[in-house]
Structure 1
Amino acid sequence: MTQLDTAPVTGGTRPRHHDHFIDGDWVRSSGEIIERRAPATGLLVSQVAAGTADTVDRAVAAARRAFEDDRWSQVSGFERAAVLHRVADLISTHAETLARLDAEEVGKPILVARADVAGAAQLTRYAAGLAIQMQGTTHTNNGPEHTGLVLREAAGVVGLITPWNFPALILSQKLPLALAAGCTVVVKPSELTSSSAAAIARLYAEAGLPDGVLNVVTGDGRAGAALAEHPDVDVLSFTGSTATGRRIIAASAGNLKKLSLELGGKAATVVFPDADLDAAAAGVVFGGFFNNGECCVAQSRLLVHTDIAEEFLAAVRERTAALRVGQPLDETTDVGALIHEAHLRAVVGAIDRAEEAGATVLVGGSRASSPQLAGGSFLVPTVLDGVTPQMAAFSDEIFGPVLTASRFRTTEEALALANGVDYGLSNSVWSRDIDTALPFARGLRSGSVYVNTVIDGPPTMPFGGYKTSGIGREMGQAGFEEFTELKSVSIRTGTRPGRFTIGTPPAS
């Protein structure tokens, strides 16, 4: 069984080192090494090779060779599914190790990291099923002499650029689906959280994935830019900020590569007076502070009806104050460390600006300062009340454990507030009345809507955004099809010459 260089660094032990994985080999870079310090402790935990444009060229060339020599794209769906099932088994076997890697490097609570890894295994099994079911259509409606075939085929070489907040999970929203379709892949994980991507690459190799089908290039945005610009990448899937997404759209223009972009969000949780208020309060706190609030689908805006606002906010404040800020590997931690010190300062700055604009801090608002958290980037979970659409906190993605509260009087006002931001990734609505909840859900301009739940849904459902939250979809049949192309084949039988009149010789 594969031995993973993954033991969490708790003090004094050597940091992990990750090279590039190209064409089945671990390739040591002769260039810069990027160091990663755990956001909860400041300890050096990993070192990754900084990929260059030349490294990306080498990885893409390996992926192209693997695609064109049919070692993966032309094998049966059953063979691809068998490999993916073995990978899912290995992810489950190494689940605790993978979870501890992500908890340490991201700063997220270990309980969240375990759920991420369980989701990664589930997504991989789902992709295995899609590999078996990949199919096209036939068309016989153009007369008895014509048969049309629409073939669904692997799109080619795929570039995957994954973010730091859900390293194992978001990689698994993309990678197994691309492989299920028969594509070959180059992954560029975040330089902040590369360990689980390297570990998962080892598991794919152990499961029997042919050399060159999966390649991993570590490094910073320069490697990501080289992958986005590369003329021999057919599809690029990216998860990250809207600003970077715009740059990727521009970078992809060279060969007009197919893009799937999951970008930022500023989700609203809308609570009507007839909701189950206790369940809604629990959902608001979970949605706002899940994964330290460093989540594109974080339900970071609370919109609550004025008739219940005071009572409901009191319940939210009480639940928020009870959250335990702690070390990521502590089983009792609810909120861990933010990704790095600069990000913590940015989140605190957003809170300060909201206060200056007239918002009220109901709870939190400052750095967590207990002795057990010294040396880490911890923030007390924060609720801001009285946030209006004119404030930056209402519309800007803060990406931290900060929940803003605003009030509404009518359904129409609530819908306008929920839709009144540039993002459209997810929203949620709480009401016992289906005649309220369903029309409201249909009126929301977002790719996902949660009704009486939050951040919920199986891998069979597509995920993606409206507006500046991105283009394309991940997961579900739609996510699988992002990595495919359609080819129409027209077959004519019977008498043909009568159809071709141009260039017909004159009668003698």
Structure 2
Amino acid sequence: MSVATERTTFSSVNPATGEVVAEHPVSDDAAVAEAIERARTASEWWGDLGWKERRLRLLNIKGALTRNLNRMAELIHQETGKPLQDAQLETIMAIVHLDWAARNARKTLGPRTVFPGVASLNQKAVLEYQPLGVVGVIGPWNYPIFTPMGSIAYALAAGNAVVFKPSEFTPGVGVLLAELVAGVVPEQPVLQTVTGLGATGAALASSPGVNKIAFTGSARTAKKVMAACAENLTPIVAECGGKDACIVDADADLDAAADAALWGAMSNAGQTCIGVERVYVVDGAYDAFLDKLTEKARDLRPGFDREAAYGPITMPGQLDIIERHIKDALDKGGTAVVGGADSVRKPYVEPVILTGVPDDSSAVREETFGPTITVHRVKDLDEAIDKANQGNYGLAGTIFSKNKSRAMDAARRMRSGMTSINAFASFAMIAALPFGGVGESGFGRIHGADGLREFARPKAIARTRFTLPMNLTSFERTDKEMARILQMINMMHAKRYKR
């Protein structure tokens, strides 16, 4: 959490205690421009190092982050209020992705020869991926090391320099990360952190010196960032949250499903873009599932102490949205089986489980970003998928079923960028899998090979190895030569194929 103190500095504040964690400068347009200019020089040096040297340095950055894991986690704990163990788990996930990006960049992006085709046998065709140059990363506050690392690590591994603007609620995390990188790579500032409020991010997005922006945040803010990028035709990858669903089939392991749904909904105080906000349970399993879910939820308690299940709401303004969603659900006929309207006790929100909430309620349609969940009875898996796919978001989802083929079919039909089966968000820990959404959840991908390619420019090169008897791209081309090529094309491609 942050509070602006004056035009040149702002405070990061512990949202649980109200204590100031640290003071940070507000980077103005000039400071951002200077950082980008330094990054331009750094990107040329970093790109010229080659795959082997970048890999070595990135693995050493990973080592430095691992050695400072508890230091980073404590800072995340202080700036977000989330439990220390959750902050440690988040940092571990960031380390896993940094390791994968370092080890797989050359295999994914390195030069390769491709078959040129029969008509171009005299050509050697080469595909390679070149660095973009300077990548601007605008990070979120809810997972301040894991989420931006999905862009930072992959952009660095692809040969770019990065200018990172962390959320104004978690600036210290970005400052510490840049400090650790500089300790390993002192030659050039391949990763710089610029701190500030919204204007700092706007300066980064609108700069003509930035070759790509990686943004995580609300869809509303993403549209503003896209507009700024449009001025220079700067490409952008955007992850904009979701309203993710969990589907529980009639034959599901209900204990596992209830445990996963509860963690997906309540961990990090529900402030998770891929968190579970809606659960659709097939009729035969509904009552038993709801009993298990409510029983587990009643044991959860928010707080800042070591025994607390989750922490406070990091961004104060979100409390009003959570409260509005709960009240709207109840006003429209929903029932609170755990918690209720009085569960919002600033800065905390106690667990809330709602049933009988109509589909047009804001608690079902809009991203709540709090420790609330709506549980819905459906007649079968088809209805569950239809309801899960309603709305404008499409980030992630969860399926619980003991039938492998039914689960896989449901996962494919779910309108989402990622789906996990019989676990919550298992894809996030698998660095080889891409991460991103559809619809208002954004576009583009981080993580995996697709994440590496997101921060590289494909370059196609064709080299003539020998001269063909016919040169069809010449004014000296003859009618006889054209007739011969037409005959060959007909022989190769005119065939009718039967089923």
TM-score by length of 2: 0.90
> Is the partner of 1:486 in helix, strand or coil?
strand
Distance of aligned partners of 1:80 and 1:198 in 2 relative to their CA distance in 1, 3 Å threshold: same
- Residues 182-231 of structure 1 show CA distances to partners (whole Å, capped at 9, x for unaligned) of 00111100011011111111110111253232121111111111111111
Letter of the structure 2 residue corresponding to residue 168 of structure 1: I
Q: Pick one of 112, 125, 129 that aligns with 1:137.
A: 112
> Is the partner of 1:423 in helix, strand or coil?
coil
1:351 Cα deviation (Å)?
A: 0.9
Distance of aligned partners of 1:435 and 1:150 in 2 relative to their CA distance in 1, 3 Å threshold: closer
> Is the partner of 2:40 in helix, strand or coil?
helix
Distance of aligned partners of 1:103 and 1:366 in 2 relative to their CA distance in 1, 3 Å threshold: farther
1:157 Cα deviation (Å)?
A: 0.9
Task: Determine whether 1:184 maps to 2:161.
Answer: yes
Distance (Å, rounded) in 1 between the aligned partners of 2:434 and 2:2 = 35
- 1:208-223 counterparts in 2 under 5 A? 208=185, 210-223=187-200
Aligned-pair identity in percent equals 32
Task: Say if 2:12 and 2:171, in contact at 8 Å, map to a contact too.
Answer: no
Task: Say if 1:367 and 1:378, in contact at 8 Å, map to a contact too.
Answer: no
Aligned residues: 470
Q: Pick one of 391, 395, 398 that aligns with 1:425.
A: 395
Q: Pick one of 114, 121, 139 that aligns with 2:88.
A: 114
Distance of aligned partners of 1:498 and 1:202 in 2 relative to their CA distance in 1, 3 Å threshold: same
Letter of the structure 1 residue corresponding to residue 28 of structure 2: T
User: Which residue does 2:488 correspond to in 1?
Assistant: none
Task: Determine whether 1:292 maps to 2:264.
Answer: no
- 1:395-414 counterparts in 2 under 5 A? 395-414=365-384
- 1:200-211 counterparts in 2 under 5 A? 200-208=177-185, 210-211=187-188
Q: Pick one of 207, 211, 232 that aligns with 1:230.
A: 207
> Is the partner of 2:348 in helix, strand or coil?
coil
- 1:457-476 counterparts in 2 under 5 A? 457=427, 458-476=430-448
- 1:337-416 counterparts in 2 under 5 A? 337-366=312-341, 377-416=347-386
Task: Determine whether 1:501 maps to 2:477.
Answer: no
Once structures 1 and 2 are overlaid, which stretch shifts more, 203-212 or 415-424?
Answer: 203-212
> Is the partner of 1:494 in helix, strand or coil?
coil
> Is the partner of 1:167 in helix, strand or coil?
coil
Task: Determine whether 1:326 maps to 2:298.
Answer: no
Task: Determine whether 1:317 maps to 2:276.
Answer: no
Task: Say if 1:348 and 1:365, in contact at 8 Å, map to a contact too.
Answer: no
Distance (Å, rounded) in 1 between the aligned partners of 2:302 and 2:473 = 76
Task: Determine whether 1:161 maps to 2:138.
Answer: yes
Q: Pick one of 98, 102, 106 that aligns with 1:128.
A: 102
Distance (Å, rounded) in 1 between the aligned partners of 2:146 and 2:405 = 35
Q: Pick one of 11, 17, 21 that aligns with 1:41.
A: 17
Task: Say if 2:282 and 2:381, in contact at 8 Å, map to a contact too.
Answer: no
1:412 Cα deviation (Å)?
A: 2.0
Distance (Å, rounded) in 2 between the aligned partners of 1:266 and 1:16 = 26
Task: Determine whether 1:94 maps to 2:68.
Answer: yes
1:366 Cα deviation (Å)?
A: 4.8
Q: Pick one of 483, 487, 500 that aligns with 2:455.
A: 483
User: Which residue does 2:497 correspond to in 1?
Assistant: none
* Larger helix fraction of residues: 2
Gaps of 5+ in 2: 478-499
Task: Say if 1:71 and 1:210, in contact at 8 Å, map to a contact too.
Answer: no
Distance (Å, rounded) in 1 between the aligned partners of 2:285 and 2:74 = 41
- Residues 120-141 of structure 1 show CA distances to partners (whole Å, capped at 9, x for unaligned) of 1111111110234231332343
Distance (Å, rounded) in 1 between the aligned partners of 2:343 and 2:322 = 13
Letter of the structure 1 residue corresponding to residue 185 of structure 2: G
Q: Pick one of 221, 231, 234 that aligns with 1:254.
A: 231
Distance (Å, rounded) in 1 between the aligned partners of 2:465 and 2:303 = 72
Task: Say if 2:182 and 2:189, in contact at 8 Å, map to a contact too.
Answer: no
Distance of aligned partners of 1:503 and 1:426 in 2 relative to their CA distance in 1, 3 Å threshold: same
Distance (Å, rounded) in 1 between the aligned partners of 2:350 and 2:2 = 30
Gaps of 5+ in 1: 1-14, 18-29
- Residues 53-76 of structure 1 show CA distances to partners (whole Å, capped at 9, x for unaligned) of 212111111111222xx3101112
User: Which residue does 2:485 correspond to in 1?
Assistant: none
1:293 Cα deviation (Å)?
A: 0.4
User: Which residue does 2:30 correspond to in 1?
Assistant: 54
Distance (Å, rounded) in 2 between the aligned partners of 1:136 and 1:291 = 42
1:16 Cα deviation (Å)?
A: 12
Task: Say if 1:388 and 1:406, in contact at 8 Å, map to a contact too.
Answer: no
> Is the partner of 2:202 in helix, strand or coil?
helix
Distance (Å, rounded) in 2 between the aligned partners of 1:290 and 1:246 = 28
CA RMSD of aligned residues (A): 2.2
- Residues 358-385 of structure 1 show CA distances to partners (whole Å, capped at 9, x for unaligned) of 111111235669xxx9xx6111011111
User: Which residue does 2:484 correspond to in 1?
Assistant: none
Task: Say if 1:430 and 1:437, in contact at 8 Å, map to a contact too.
Answer: yes
Distance of aligned partners of 1:494 and 1:450 in 2 relative to their CA distance in 1, 3 Å threshold: closer
- Residues 7-39 of structure 1 show CA distances to partners (whole Å, capped at 9, x for unaligned) of xxxxxxxx999xxxxxxxxxxxx9521122211
Letter of the structure 1 residue corresponding to residue 122 of structure 2: E
Distance (Å, rounded) in 2 between the aligned partners of 1:16 and 1:408 = 43
Task: Say if 1:109 and 1:335, in contact at 8 Å, map to a contact too.
Answer: yes
Task: Say if 1:181 and 1:484, in contact at 8 Å, map to a contact too.
Answer: yes
Letter of the structure 2 residue corresponding to residue 494 of structure 1: F
Distance (Å, rounded) in 1 between the aligned partners of 2:302 and 2:321 = 19
Distance (Å, rounded) in 2 between the aligned partners of 1:500 and 1:246 = 45
User: Which residue does 1:7 correspond to in 2?
Assistant: none
Distance (Å, rounded) in 1 between the aligned partners of 2:460 and 2:12 = 49
User: Which residue does 1:12 correspond to in 2?
Assistant: none
Once structures 1 and 2 are overlaid, which stretch shifts more, 357-366 or 290-299?
Answer: 357-366
1:285 Cα deviation (Å)?
A: 0.4
Letter of the structure 2 residue corresponding to residue 131 of structure 1: A
Task: Say if 1:263 and 1:470, in contact at 8 Å, map to a contact too.
Answer: yes
> Is the partner of 1:36 in helix, strand or coil?
strand
Distance (Å, rounded) in 2 between the aligned partners of 1:448 and 1:285 = 19
Distance (Å, rounded) in 1 between the aligned partners of 2:54 and 2:105 = 6
Once structures 1 and 2 are overlaid, which stretch shifts more, 252-261 or 289-298?
Answer: 252-261
Distance (Å, rounded) in 1 between the aligned partners of 2:315 and 2:458 = 43
Task: Say if 1:16 and 1:46, in contact at 8 Å, map to a contact too.
Answer: no
User: Which residue does 2:491 correspond to in 1?
Assistant: none
Task: Say if 1:101 and 1:195, in contact at 8 Å, map to a contact too.
Answer: yes
Distance (Å, rounded) in 2 between the aligned partners of 1:379 and 1:366 = 10
Task: Determine whether 1:196 maps to 2:173.
Answer: yes
Task: Say if 1:48 and 1:191, in contact at 8 Å, map to a contact too.
Answer: no
